[in-house]
Amino acid sequence: MKISGQVALVTGGASGLGRATAERLHADGCSVVLIDLPSSEGKAVASQLGARAVFAPCDVTSEEDVAAALDRAQELGDLRVVVNCAGIANGIRVVGRNGPFPLDDFTRVVSVNLIGTFNVIRLAAERMSTVEIVDGERGVIVNTASVAAFDGQVGQAAYSASKAALLGLTYTAAKELAGYNIRVNALLPGYMQTEMGMAAKKAMERAKEESITGALSNPKEVAGFIAYLIKTDYITGQLFSLDSRII
């Protein structure tokens, strides 16, 4: 799919990988809707990007919020690109000094990372399914999982579970949405130069584990791979590990 001239929606667009992705797609000629919590820096980021960028305050677990964000996207044109970067994490042991992992804390992570992502997929895919097919496609969805799906560290039970489940969701959604000419893929980044990535990196170091290089990946580099997935028409239903420890 040609990126220039398309309309993209990026969740978690106010920071980290979401922001890097929004900046990359915007630089490549996309109109971009950044969605993030009202308390985020989304409005400032959209203002910095300038024309063709808007911020839609949104909780991805809310059907009403996501629908409103999709309405904003529709004002810019046909939505054809969705990149799911919104996610949260915590560091709580299954059994810790203060007792078992609080169920509410586990549920919150799964709700945002898995259910929130599915909420965006289902509502965005419905809109995409009605747009005109161009060069054999209607749209592209890229989900952000994590190396933690296979290699979770101590304290990452909720985060790892949510990201592992996202892999199954991606593969299933790709099969179902292929009939609508919509592609779906997922990335499994290693630890990145973001606030969440730094925390995970520290957990890995405490566990005395390292990647081959021991280096954190740059969100801009990962955003470049997301752009590649959008442009490469034949890739769908694939899970791409960007960490050297996962083959």
Which residue segment(s) compose the domain that 93 sits in?
7-242
Given the residues 159, 180, 191, 228, the one annotated as active site: 159
Domain harbouring 120, CATH code: 3.40.50.720
Find the range with the poorest average confidence among 97-101, 189-193, 227-231, 243-247.
Answer: 243-247
Distance between CA 236 and CA 41 in Å, rounded? Answer: 32
pLDDT, tens only, 32-57: 999 999 999 999 999 999 999 999 99
Contacts for 197-202 with beta carbons within 8 Å, 24 or more apart?
197/16, 199/89, 199/91, 200/89, 200/148, 200/153, 200/156
What is the C-alpha to C-alpha distance for residues 33 and 41, in angstroms, rounded to an integer?
Answer: 14
Would residue 247 count as lying in a domain?
A: no
The domain total for the chain is 1
Residue 183 lies in a domain: yes
Q: Does residue 1 sit within a domain?
A: no
Q: Report if residue 2 sits inside a domain.
A: no
191 catalytic residue (yes or no): no
What pLDDT, in 10s, does the model give residues 151-208? 888 999 999 999 999 999 999 999 999 999 999 999 998 876 545 544 444 544 444 4
Region 133-157 average pLDDT: 94
In a domain, 197, yes or no: yes
